[in-house]
Structure 1
Amino acid sequence: MSQPPASSELTSQYAAQVIGDLERNVKEQDRVGAEIAELQGQLAALQHDHTVLLNMQQALGITPAPAEPAAEPAAPGTKTRARKAGTSARRATARKSAAGKSAANKTVAKKPAAKKTRPATETSARPTLVDLVRSHLAAEGEPRSTAEITAALNEAQPGRTIKNTVVRTTVEGLVAKGLVQRSKQGSSVYYTAPEADRSGEARPEHDTTE
């Protein structure tokens, strides 16, 4: 029993299509195979060059640089999370900066006010050590040791600290200028004001040694 004409024509079309697909498949295989062969040749050449370069590097004593790991592809949603994390980090930094400025302002506010410097007129108006020594010896009228002079001056000048060594240097300077008289009683040295000072007469010479 023969097939109908429509069925025979449809079979012929399928057969022709299959034959054409087979031919295209074979040609594509040949093309891909040729490309693979060419790439394999390029790969072999690169591998050869790599071996040569490694040998040259070793011969020259060059230390190879550490290879950087290849970046892994980001998972879905990683960029979004990274942006959120960056925003959070910036906000946290801003909060810390604001807190630090606030603490610094509080610290500055808590600092005590600087002590006021005593006016120069007040300092200059203070009597010198020479004046104090001469006035004390003139008022006493009796021989006094440096220890006694120092104790009396410290008591009379509570805002000043007068040392015995400074007093000794001062009175010895006055002795050298003839403004104070020195005497010895045993191993001790005593100082007195001249007769003119004890009688109230003013001496023209004035020493400003402190």
Structure 2
Amino acid sequence: MPENTAPATELTSQYVNQVASDLERNVKEQERITAEVTALQQQLAALQHDHTVLVNMQQALGVAATAPEPVRADSATVPSPRQKATAKSRRQAKAPATEKPAAKKQTGKKAVAKTVQPTLVELVRRHLTEQSEPRSAAEIATALSQAHPDRGVKTTVVRTTVENLVARNQAQRTKQGSSVFYTAPNPPEPTAAPKVETQPETGE
């Protein structure tokens, strides 16, 4: 009995050591993958923040947004097999030529829809025109954020926009202490009509 018990105990000890080693390796691998996922999430958050800032700056410069929307992780799809692509190309080849003008018409509608949305420059100019008192860049950004919550208006972008309007004489800047306020430009003074000189009538 003691001879049989010794090998069994040794085998059990080997299993215990092996399981402990595998468990430790598993924990370290989880920590490594968790650290990589955290780093990737931070990079993604930084890229999304930069994308928002760049889009707002583009709108501040009066340029229509043409950059593609950021791709979400859950929207990524596996490419379809080549056979499906071939079948799709055949269907497109058999499609009548009358469908092309319809596609162009839809593209025109999309372009019109994009141009209908006012730019940040127009929103800031309109807001200043509606105000009777000077407004700071922070106050303008707060008002526009409340009126257009989907635009993601930033104070820094609004300040850049208003300074561009000031440079183009489309807004006025006033400084009170360390604070800077902006107002709409004064309306041009009406030009006086030229006086018509009337000559006295001379008797014949």
- Give TM-score scaled by structure 2 length: 0.38
- Give TM-score scaled by structure 1 length: 0.37
The higher radius of gyration belongs to: 1
